[in-house]
């Protein structure tokens, strides 16, 4: 490539890369160019790679695409998830639902999990295989569901086990008088609802059961204004 040819692509833009400086020739004789990426990083690339479309960013584009694939697998397009015979496996759906409940505020059960501060440990959240190998070690089979030993604790190896529905029902029954941390609002694990109540002259008055903690707190506040003022 002659000097004048080398100048040809100065200032050109290829994908996210803008050519800002001629560097010289590489070991293979190809012209090398210093480019500035839209993200602010610099990268030296051969003119061939730029013109042929092999280099479109400093590497940030590939990184974003990888993250997008992980994100889609986790939150969206399950067609691309771990599959068995073309179908999403049950264990994968359990993993995905667990993360959604805890991490996706738009999930309809988020308020009972992520909304209460319950999280999924990083090793499981970031890696299905980690979760899968734990599940197999702990005797997972298709009749069992994941259960947290401490109902206020996280999804993590030390706080989870595989149980059948009957055992889970018993645990929920025993813990159904747990409070929510809000005065006059208790969480009913049997129904998944929040019950509001108020004590008037030593007598418990029930104010109804609600789908969300916010509604139950509102009912309690309304009752406070009615009975306590």
**Shortest Å, Cβ 6 to Zn ion:** 23
Residue 36 or 218: the one with the smaller Cβ distance to Zn ion is 36
Residue 41 or 82: the one with the smaller Cβ distance to Zn ion is 41
Cα 216–chain centre separation = 27
Q: Going along 47-89, which residue ranges are E strands? A: 83-84, 87-88
**Shortest Å, Cβ 35 to Zn ion:** 10
Q: Residue 95 contacts by C-beta under 8 Å, 6 or more apart in sequence?
A: 124, 128, 131, 132
**Shortest Å, Cβ 36 to Zn ion:** 9
Residue 46 or 57: the one with the smaller Cβ distance to Zn ion is 57
**Shortest Å, Cβ 110 to Zn ion:** 34
Kindly give the interhelix angle for 90-103 and 128-137, rounded to the nearest 10 degrees: 120
Residue 112 to residues 68, 92, 129: CA-CA distances in angstroms?
Answer: 27, 21, 26
Residue 55 or 57: the one with the smaller Cβ distance to Zn ion is 57
Measured CA angle at 102 (ends 61, 169), to 5 deg = 150
Kindly give the interhelix angle for 90-103 and 60-75, rounded to the nearest 10 degrees: 100
Residues binding Zn ion (CB under 5 A): 37, 39, 41, 57-58, 60
Task: End-to-end CA distance of the chain: give it in Å, rounded.
Answer: 88
Can you tell me the distance from the alpha carbon of 81 to that of 220, in angstroms, rounded to the nearest whole number? Answer: 44
**Shortest Å, Cβ 58 to Zn ion:** 4
Residue 37 or 207: the one with the smaller Cβ distance to Zn ion is 37
């Amino acid at each position: 490539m002659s000097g004048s040819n080398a100048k040809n692509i100065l200032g050109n833009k290829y994908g996210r890369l803008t050519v800002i400086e001629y560097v010289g020739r590489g070991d293979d004789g190809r012209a090398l160019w210093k480019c500035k990426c839209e993200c602010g990083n610099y990268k030296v690339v051969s003119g061939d790679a730029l013109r042929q479309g092999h280099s479109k960013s400093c590497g940030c584009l590939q990184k974003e695409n990888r993250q997008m694939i992980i994100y889609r697998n986790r939150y969206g397009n399950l067609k691309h998830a771990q599959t068995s015979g073309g179908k999403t496996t049950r264990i994968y759906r359990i993993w995905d639902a667990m993360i959604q409940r805890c991490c996706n505020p738009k999930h309809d059960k988020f308020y009972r999990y992520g909304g209460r501060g319950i999280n999924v440990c990083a090793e499981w959240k970031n890696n299905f295989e980690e979760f899968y190998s734990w599940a197999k070690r702990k005797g997972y089979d298709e009749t069992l569901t994941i259960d947290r030993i401490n109902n206020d604790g996280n999804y993590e190896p030390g706080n989870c086990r595989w149980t059948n529905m009957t055992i889970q029902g018993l645990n929920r029954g025993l813990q159904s008088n747990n409070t929510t941390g809000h005065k006059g609002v208790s969480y009913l694990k049997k129904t998944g609802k929040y019950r509001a109540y108020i004590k008037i002259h030593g007598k418990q008055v029930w104010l109804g059961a609600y789908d969300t903690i916010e509604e139950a707190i509102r009912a309690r506040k309304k009752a406070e204004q009615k009975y306590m003022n």
